[in-house]
């Protein structure tokens, strides 16, 4: 019997061609917007495979509506949108796209880190609004990177790629991860493990790369923000809910920390009131993996995972757990 795969959103090149070439029937939400809950429920009914976006909530109700489903390929490295335990208990494999978006996300992290440190958002708004009256010795003076300490929270592939770049900027690197990484990797990255509290208290720049789960939700809360340096710059390209966004707005407003660079938010695309009014935060619209190479490689990896599982083989990149 022909297998059927539901794809919840139009994908960039090379798109779904690979699945069609493999003789799989593919149904795509061809409108460039997230599927509604009803469209998602209808789409998975009778489907053998699903390519989901991080904006799709895959919970038990959804799984109950998909008795034929064998594989969910999430078009993202994060998979907090999926109830993985519930899927696996029904014999459904869940895969993500690690590796292929590591460098793209590390680049975006640095764009936000430097942009926040050097007031790029505020400067851009000034120029565009016609408020720039010319160079001035005291204008938008920010934080240097060289010689400062970068604290990385979550030393997986992306955290490591961020650490590698830090060398070029002459920064020293400390990190927190539940498990210390191998001594060889620590040596290669020149990174020193610190307890989270010590990292938060001592780092000049703090960048979040931990997965979102019940333990890491609001890892950065009001107390953590209060213990940061007043010159600290906080960067988040992981998941919005790693930070208590309301507490962050307060901390940025009161000067408890100097600046932030955000790519992700607690309730995307909604923003906590007050955030857009602050000049000391750079706001990106969840662009971490948005490079031509990364987005194409993510398509291939999702399709490879779908094909493998539907052919009775092991998935290439099953999510951990």
Cα–Cα distance between 126 and 119 in angstroms, integer?
11
**Contact with ligand GLV (CB under 6 A) among 78, 151, 154, 159:** 78
> Does 191 contact ligand GLV by CB under 6 A?
no
Cβ distance to ligand GLV smaller for residue 129 or 136: 136
> Does 8 contact ligand GLV by CB under 6 A?
no
How many chain residues bind ligand GLV (CB under 6 A)? 7
Of the candidates 169, 71, 61, the one whose C-alpha atom is nearest the C-alpha of residue 114 is 169
Cβ distance to ligand GLV smaller for residue 222 or 290: 290
**H or E element: which one contains 183?**
helix 183-189
Residues of span 150-189 touching ligand GLV by CB under 6 A: none
Residues in contact with ligand GLV, shown as a per-residue x/- string from 89 to 108 under the rule CB under 6 A: ------------x-------
Cα distance from N-terminal residue to C-terminal residue, the chain: 31
Cβ distance to ligand GLV smaller for residue 78 or 154: 78
25 catalytic residue (yes or no): no
Query: Is the separation of the CB atoms in 174 and 151 below 8 Å?
Result: yes
Name the minimum Å distance from CB 288 to ligand GLV. 5
Query: Is the separation of the CB atoms in 53 and 75 below 8 Å?
Result: yes
The region of 71-79, 149-157, 194-202, 275-283 touching ligand GLV under the rule CB under 6 A is 71-79
> Does 289 contact ligand GLV by CB under 6 A?
yes
Distances (CA, A) of 180 to 177, 191, 193, 218: 6, 11, 7, 22
> Does 77 contact ligand GLV by CB under 6 A?
yes
Burial of 222 (0-12, 13-18, 19+ CB in 10 A): middle
Name the minimum Å distance from CB 137 to ligand GLV. 9
Catalytic residues: 239, 268, 286
What residues make contact with ligand GLV under the rule CB under 6 A? 54, 76-78, 101, 288-289
């Amino acid at each position: 019997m022909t297998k059927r795969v539901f794809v919840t959103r139009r994908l960039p090149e090379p798109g779904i061609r690979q699945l069609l070439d493999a003789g799989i029937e593919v149904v795509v939400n061809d409108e460039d917007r997230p599927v509604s809950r009803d469209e998602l429920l209808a789409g998975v009914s009778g489907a053998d495979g699903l390519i989901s976006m991080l904006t799709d909530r895959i919970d038990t109700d959804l799984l109950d509506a998909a008795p034929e489903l064998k594989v969910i390929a999430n078009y993202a490295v994060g998979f907090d949108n999926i109830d993985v335990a519930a899927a696996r208990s029904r014999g459904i494999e869940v895969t993500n796209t690690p590796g292929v978006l590591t460098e793209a996300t590390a680049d975006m992290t640095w764009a936000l880190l430097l942009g926040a440190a050097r007031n790029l958002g505020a400067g851009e708004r000034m120029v565009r609004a016609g408020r720039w009256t010319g160079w001035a010795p005291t204008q938008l003076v920010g934080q240097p990177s060289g010689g400062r300490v970068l604290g990385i929270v979550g030393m997986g592939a992306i955290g490591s790629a961020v650490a590698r770049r830090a060398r070029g900027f002459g920064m020293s690197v400390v990190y927190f991860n539940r498990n210390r990484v191998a001594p060889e990797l620590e040596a290669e990255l020149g990174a020193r493990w610190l307890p989270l509290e010590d990292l938060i208290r001592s780092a000049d720049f703090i960048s979040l790369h931990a997965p979102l789960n019940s333990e890491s939700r609001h890892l950065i809360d009001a107390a953590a923000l209060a213990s940061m340096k007043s010159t600290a710059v906080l960067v988040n390209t992981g998941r919005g809910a790693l930070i208590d966004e309301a507490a962050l707005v307060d901390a940025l407003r009161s000067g408890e920390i100097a600046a932030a660079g955000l790519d992700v938010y607690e309730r995307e695309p909604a923003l906590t009131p007050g955030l857009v009014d602050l000049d000391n935060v750079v706001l990106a619209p969840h662009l971490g993996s948005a490079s031509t190479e990364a987005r194409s490689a993510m398509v291939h990896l999702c399709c490879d995972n779908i094909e493998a599982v539907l052919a009775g083989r092991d998935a290439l990149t099953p999510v951990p757990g």
